[in-house]
Structure 1
Amino acid sequence: MTQGTNQQEYKTKYDRKMAERAMEKKKEERQLKIMKIVGVILCAAVVVAIAAPIISNVVKKQQALNGTYVKIGDHELSELEYDYYYYSAVNNYINTYGSFISYLGLDTSVDFDKQQYDETKTWKDYFDQMTVDEQIKPIFALLDEAQKNGFTYDAAEDYDAYVASIQEAADNAGVSLSDYYRNYFGPYATASNVEAFIKNGYIASAYYEQLVADNAPTTEEVKTYYDENRNAYDQVDYKSIAFETPEFEEDATDEEKAKDLEDRQKQAEDVLAQIENGDTVDGFELTEGAKYSAVPSSAAAWLFDDARAEGDIQVFTDDSTSNVYVVQFVKKFYDEANDETISSSLASQTVSAQLQEVADRYEVVDVKGDLKYLTIPETTTEDTSAGDTAEDAAEDTAATDGATGDTAEDTTADEAAGDATEDSAE
């Protein structure tokens, strides 16, 4: 299958850049595994229905409800329970990527096991592995640790509110409540038989929050982390004006392009002189509270250098785009509200690592024989290259369509992990 052939066309530089940033943000959000596990399960505001088979065999239904479908650690899951996590994970994935699904080459109207995710896995294999590794194992790790440590939580109130939200969502979607449960949690799901799974999600969420609180870093640890990652949290105010590279004709020569760049650099130097002379320059505008990733990449290190003083001004040329900037420093500052963000992030990292150790001890036994991904050899680093997976292809396509190189975000892989806050169930 050709990956990402149905691609959205972005008409402007702004649209392309926003699309690229949005896609990266979506991926980062999805990759916050344990921090989002309960949110994945308990989010039912939007539903993308996965085609559910018609159940006509009573025996098959009884097996799905009562037989062991897969064993994970000491936990024996029925097909009903596995589907609950699988359908929740897939729906969340599709809703997360939204309009970028076309980039991924995924057709939600076609069986997932008939579509390749990469060279070795189908989309069904990928979703099965995601369900086990990113949903079921972390949930059970939390539940097992909660039980071992005597943690209890009454999820009745949460569950009642959730049921009310499910009913509202079904009404808004114009479907019956029973159809809604089947579409979102699998063909065997009903309001009553998934109640325990939903409550387990709230118990796991409550215990996770307790662990995060128990593992809060000290003030000194927060300060140390900030000092080591200042560019991820500091902000600057600065003034700038851009002399952008024009759209050249296809037959434009290197000499013509070089002459254009030279002219724009001369313009920028003239503007710099005017500003230093105290003249008003149209288009020389103030940007406030910009992070390192959002300023022109060619000026980022300069702007965030501790040696900067108010009024410092310089001309910069972007190596990727040949855009030319006049940039004047105003001030650099740190919002102390980020202390809480850093604290939460560090605590979450600690807890996630602890829970991952528990989850890694769970052996997966494919009792029914439906989890084909377990028989696929692990791909080595040498075997994997950019663009091998559907997600890689999507990112490559988005970047090709829209990368501008104008900001530090365009030339930096990502900001420090502390920029992400915990996204738990609401």
Structure 2
Amino acid sequence: MGIAAVDMSEKNNKSNSPADNTKSEKKMTKYDLKMQRRQEEEKKAKKEKAIIKTGCILAVIICVCIAAWKFYDNYQEKHGPYITVGDHEIQKAEFDYYYYSSLNSFASTYGSYLSYFGLDTSKPLDQQQYSDTMTWDDYFQQQAVNQLKNVYALTDEANEKGFEYDASSDYDDMVTSIKSYAQQQGVSEDEYCKSVFGSDATLEGIKPYVEMSGLASAYYNDVKDNIEVTDDEINTYYDENKDNYDSVDYRVCKIEADMPEEETETETEAQTETAAESISETAAESTSETAMTETQTETESETMSAEESEAAAKAEEEAKEAAMAAAKAKADEMLSKIKDEASFEKVYNKYASDTTVDSLNTGKKKSSISPTDVANWLFDADRQAGDTTVIEDTANNAYYVVYFKDRYLDHIKTVDVRQILISADTSSSDAAETDETETTAAGETETAETESAEAQEQAKEDAKAAAKIKAEQILDDWKNGDATEDSFAELAKTYSDDTGSNTNGGLYEAVKEGQMVTNFNDWIFDASRKPGDTGIVESDYGYHIIYFVGDNKEEWYVNIKDTITSNKLNDYMSDLTADIEVKDSRHHVAYLHETEAATETTSDTAASTESAAASESAAETAASETETVAETTTETAETTAK
């Protein structure tokens, strides 16, 4: 059994051997191998081609996506929201309108004084510092943001309350102005707009901004006109702030100390060198010429020079103290001789350092009196007529002998007037200018320039004469008509060239003496002036047809009323804009993000600081910032109103 089993196993193994299987397979020829390799290469090529095709498609898709994103990004940059103010999306053109309006207003207000502010409008504003933390670009961005907040807050509330205002005339006036300036500069209206309001501005494009600003201004003025300020509020405010409104009369004598002349740096150096040379010579005579002796000599020279300098400084200080003591003794001596105002006046010339200065001062406000210690003494609540004192002024090395006469509230009147301004139009004088021609004869050039100047002067005189005739004709027409204040107001709306008052019938209320140009001022404050008086006065602006309405409240009363009104407007605008959030997701307005970072840093620092001193400082800073924001808000709204 065992042997038979072994034989069967070997047979089975032989029948399943590879040699037997190979015999059943077809033998591969060279041709077959070649075709196989070709098929494999074709498959590989197809695979590579598919990969390349897929890569190209993906590359095209990526390029299309990038192009689409860039197109979208550029579109959003130009047409999408530049920033958001509350619920309102602000485009770049609108932001630029307020940005450049602020810049142009600032440049127009300060003109040639811009350099004093460190501002050069011909250079990049983001490379010029407005403050330690802001560039001028940041500043005007801030102004633009504030104006946008105010304008949208005011217009939103105006619309909610059904306030109606036709702002089309505001835009029409703007168009007229732009066309005039564009013509003068020889450019199109849109080109002028771009130069003034930004690269995206057009005459039609700025229309909604102008009209919205006009609506905001009108509503702001309506709110202002409806603010009530009572007599009790005014009197209470005066009682709490008398020092700001009272005036004083007093006499003062300034006695300057006879201070020693300070040695110049050259004289001091010469004296030091002389002393050093003297010491060196003496040391050289008494010691041998050795290195040790030279070192000792130099040390002694330096030591003696320092001692002499210290002695000189001490002597100078003692001389100054002696001079101040002498001035004090002189002031005390004068004070002892003053019994009344007459005696003060009698001895004044004997003690005053400058007798050409009048000792009497009348109607002086506290803010105008220097030095501060003199002002504080005069405005002390316990001050009585006839009080005298001596006050030291270390800053100016002097003493003041002061005699108090009186403290009082000035009862200076203000007046209400209406005017119609007829300006002398000299624009036609440009036509009178002779064209510049090239000439080699100096005499001919001078003659041409002289004739041109004479022609311009004659044109101005003709324009003034025409303005005077027009003013007289308008006044005659008024006198021949109803001759009332209302009819005068209507003529002002029709004819007046004064844009500051013509929309309000030429009315100026609570005018203070000195507020208007000289001839205008002198006419309205003439002692004989009475309500209903009319007249024509000339100024550099042209001819003013004036209607005297009558006296208003006293100046102090008007000033306090204006202050209280301004404070109430500050509160109103602060409350109105308090919840308006400005978002800048695309980081166009740098100062907003710098402010946020500063706020976070301040918060972290405040949270980690536990000292009472730090807490007090933080409270003072917060109060200061609140006042600044209130002032900025009012200024911005007032600028918008203008």
Q: Give the alignment's TM-score, normalised by structure 1.
A: 0.66
Query: How far, CA to CA, are the matches of 2:402 and 2:200 in structure 1?
Result: 61
Identity of matched residues, %: 37
Q: CA deviation at 1:96?
A: 5.0
Matched, 1:154 2:166: yes
The answer to whether the 8 A contact 2:83-2:90 is kept is yes
Matched, 1:356 2:574: yes
User: Hey, what does 1:313 align to over in structure 2?
Assistant: 388
Query: How far, CA to CA, are the matches of 1:320 and 1:354 in structure 2?
Result: 44
Query: How far, CA to CA, are the matches of 2:366 and 2:174 in structure 1?
Result: 40
Counterpart selection for 1:263 from 318, 323, 326:
326
- Count of residues in Structure 1 that have an aligned counterpart in Structure 2: 335
Matched, 1:293 2:293: no
Query: How far, CA to CA, are the matches of 1:199 and 1:220 in structure 2?
Result: 39
The more displaced of 136-145 and 109-118 is 109-118
Counterpart selection for 2:378 from 295, 303, 309:
303
Distance 1:98 1:276, change over 3 A: farther
Distance 1:163 1:244, change over 3 A: farther
Matched, 1:374 2:587: no
Matched, 1:140 2:140: no
Larger Rg: 2
The more displaced of 261-270 and 356-365 is 261-270
Query: How far, CA to CA, are the matches of 1:267 and 1:381 in structure 2?
Result: 55
Query: How far, CA to CA, are the matches of 1:317 and 1:67 in structure 2?
Result: 66
Structural mapping, 1:241-256, within 5 Å: 241-244=253-256, 249=262, 253-256=316-319
Query: How far, CA to CA, are the matches of 2:182 and 2:256 in structure 1?
Result: 50
SS at match of 1:276: helix
User: Hey, what does 2:343 align to over in structure 1?
Assistant: 276
User: Hey, what does 2:100 align to over in structure 1?
Assistant: 87
Query: How far, CA to CA, are the matches of 2:332 and 2:187 in structure 1?
Result: 64
Distance 1:201 1:214, change over 3 A: same
Q: CA deviation at 1:84?
A: 0.7
Distance 1:183 1:230, change over 3 A: farther
Structural mapping, 1:311-350, within 5 Å: 311-335=386-410, 336-350=554-568
CA deviation vs aligned residue, 1:114-158 (integer Å, no higher than 9, x gap):
3455565443334323321x3211121111121112222223444
Query: How far, CA to CA, are the matches of 1:170 and 1:300 in structure 2?
Result: 54
The answer to whether the 8 A contact 1:316-1:325 is kept is yes
Q: CA deviation at 1:204?
A: 1.7
CA deviation vs aligned residue, 1:168-203 (integer Å, no higher than 9, x gap):
667888987555533332222233322332232232
As a proportion of its length, which structure holds more helix?
Answer: 2
Query: How far, CA to CA, are the matches of 2:319 and 2:187 in structure 1?
Result: 62
Counterpart selection for 2:86 from 55, 73, 76:
73
Q: CA deviation at 1:270?
A: 4.7
Q: CA deviation at 1:371?
A: 1.6
Distance 1:101 1:277, change over 3 A: closer
User: Hey, what does 1:198 align to over in structure 2?
Assistant: 210
SS at match of 1:326: strand
Query: How far, CA to CA, are the matches of 1:99 and 1:323 in structure 2?
Result: 38
The answer to whether the 8 A contact 2:170-2:210 is kept is no
Query: How far, CA to CA, are the matches of 2:399 and 2:179 in structure 1?
Result: 55
Query: How far, CA to CA, are the matches of 1:268 and 1:284 in structure 2?
Result: 17
Query: How far, CA to CA, are the matches of 2:260 and 2:174 in structure 1?
Result: 53
User: Hey, what does 2:628 align to over in structure 1?
Assistant: none
Q: CA deviation at 1:294?
A: 1.2
Counterpart selection for 1:108 from 104, 121, 124:
121
Query: How far, CA to CA, are the matches of 2:186 and 2:396 in structure 1?
Result: 49
Q: CA deviation at 1:62?
A: 7.5
Query: How far, CA to CA, are the matches of 2:181 and 2:326 in structure 1?
Result: 59
- Matched to 1:228, the amino acid is E
The more displaced of 109-118 and 59-68 is 59-68
Distance 1:172 1:60, change over 3 A: farther
Unaligned runs of 5+ in 2: 1-70, 265-312, 350-354, 411-553, 606-630
CA deviation vs aligned residue, 1:268-303 (integer Å, no higher than 9, x gap):
345543662651633233333322111121111221
RMSD: 3.9
Counterpart selection for 2:198 from 182, 186, 189:
186
The answer to whether the 8 A contact 1:243-1:264 is kept is yes
Q: CA deviation at 1:207?
A: 1.6
CA deviation vs aligned residue, 1:25-67 (integer Å, no higher than 9, x gap):
xxxxxxxxxxxxxxxxxxxxxxxxxxxxxxxxx9999867643
- Choose between structure 1 and 2 for higher RCO, CA contacts under 8 A separated by at least 6 residues: 1
Query: How far, CA to CA, are the matches of 1:269 and 1:382 in structure 2?
Result: 56
Q: CA deviation at 1:254?
A: 2.0
- Matched to 1:378, the amino acid is A
The answer to whether the 8 A contact 1:68-1:368 is kept is no
User: Hey, what does 2:36 align to over in structure 1?
Assistant: none
- Matched to 1:255, the amino acid is E
User: Hey, what does 1:394 align to over in structure 2?
Assistant: none
The answer to whether the 8 A contact 1:233-1:334 is kept is yes
Query: How far, CA to CA, are the matches of 2:178 and 2:249 in structure 1?
Result: 45
Query: How far, CA to CA, are the matches of 1:255 and 1:163 in structure 2?
Result: 73
Distance 1:324 1:277, change over 3 A: closer
Q: CA deviation at 1:327?
A: 2.5
SS at match of 2:123: coil
User: Hey, what does 2:583 align to over in structure 1?
Assistant: 365
